[in-house]
Amino acid sequence: MHPDWPTGLFIDGGWTEGTDGVTWTVTNPANGEALAEVAVAAPQDVDRAVAAARRAFDDGPWPRMEPLERGRLLFRLAERIREQCEELALTDTLNIGKPIRDTRGFDVPCAASLFESYAGLADKIAGKCFGTLPDNVTMQFREPMGVIAAIVPWNFPLTNAAIKLAPLLACGNTVVLKPSEVSPLSALMLAGLAADVGFPPGVINVIHGTGGETGSALVRHPGVDKITFTGRHQTGAQMLEAAKVGMKGVMLELGGKTPSLVFPDAPLEHVVNGVITGIFYNLGQVCVAGSRLLVSEQQHDELLDRIIARVAKLRQGDPTDETNHLGCLATSQHCETVRTMVDRARQQGARCLVGGGSEDVERADPQRTGTFFPPTIFDGVTADMELARQEVFGPVLGVLTYRDEAEAVRLANDCDFGLMANVWTADGTRALRVARQLRAGKVAVNGGGALRPGVPVFGYKMSGIGSELGFDEAIHEYTCSKAVVYSLATEKSAWPE
């Protein structure tokens, strides 16, 4: 049995069908079975959603609401998410093949925590007063920005929606959310929960369809004030182009190629756990997946032996079985993309030590179908190889060696992405020295890189523009600054005297 999923568009506080009557089949990647037929938004439906958000912002109560009341609604939504944990967890597990132990243990609780955390931000958005001149006072106000177009990928359907919605709603904006066409179900459930707890109509609107059609119509819509997007850097470039229509603001959280720098003094047992989690959690379908392992030549063999031994104990299979560590990739198309990049890594001279193709999973269990791909490790990777430079977004680890600290830092920075980096060392001075040299928006030292609501995620280089999460950063991203100059002078000099 599965939850009774909504399949319409959520616009202006209610469910509606698409104007054209077109639907999209949502499937279970673990077995290829159809889960639901969801309505696809036509351009007219995009217009309706933006218009609803526009009315809710321009004329509705949300941006003018007592901030504490906005916070209470966000907190009530968090409580409803926790109450619906099993249904939401099973939904994302069936929809994208992520193990139920992960959706139940991280995805749903994290989404609730995000709304809880930003509920407390709503009444703490403050401006400034500049009163240094004797004849005037200048006040700076922070005001809600307007209608936000939020577009999220399929890898963490519910969590990604919460990452966008919690801060922008706390700041008083309204939103049109477009989840990935691959994984729209939990976002629709979230919209229904928001209506249940009393969000005013039009504050949250959820539409779905492909990025090329529905997404493009949304981000180019003149009624949208800002675009916030998480996804591939190629699509991010298209968002920048779309933002020219109306000179919209843009926040982009794009790809990554996270390096893990392991220094000889690091405790290997902790490193092994961190490396395996960093690259094989959610089968590497994570923007901060630790896909590059940089290890010293003297430590290389021992560390790899330990990692390979631990990987052999990972259980991969039915995502709804809570004993399995690994599920499957989200789509057959993406599975083929990962397989192609693995084949190219072999062609370019990297040595495959573990895994390497979905046929490995099939040999282990000939009855298994679906988009299962095994944990894969390549050794002998060099900085010029595609595997060291391009995001695979799959369970593929590339191992590079270095001779000294300077070379480790150079290799880590020799990449077009800069979302996150990991440093493993027992030397605190070295940890901070290296962290300051790395071109990445987030550096985790000896682990601790898990998502936290108040910690900003900032992309260097091709990893993005602006900051996802963070409290000060959210205020900057989702409010406008207005200066009011109040003259105290009793006599005004007329120009040109």
Q: Report, as residue numbers or ranges, the catalytic residues.
A: 253, 287
371: its two tokens = 């988009």
Q: Are strands 9-11 and 128-130 parallel, antiparallel or unpaired?
A: unpaired
Q: Do 440 and 260 contact (CB within 8 A), yes or no?
A: no
Buried b (16+ CB within 10 A) or exposed e, 449-473: bebebeebbbbbbbbbbbbbbbbeb
Q: Do 255 and 229 contact (CB within 8 A), yes or no?
A: no
Question: Does residue 496 have a cis bond before it (omega within 30 degrees)?
Answer: yes
Nearest-10 Cα torsion for 129, 133, 135, 141: -20
Distance CA 238, CA 164 (A): 19
108: its two tokens = 């749903």
Rg of the chain on CA atoms, in Å? 24
66: its two tokens = 């007592």
Distance CA 13, CA 94 (A): 27
Burial of 314 (0-12, 13-18, 19+ CB in 10 A): middle
Distance CA 277, CA 280 (A): 5
394: its two tokens = 């799959």
Of 175, 166, 13, 157, the C-alpha closest to 75 is 166
Distance CA 152, CA 168 (A): 14
Q: Do 173 and 164 contact (CB within 8 A), yes or no?
A: no
Give 151's strand partners: 178, 229
Number of helices followed by number of strands (H, E) in the chain: 16, 24
Distance CA 447, CA 380 (A): 25
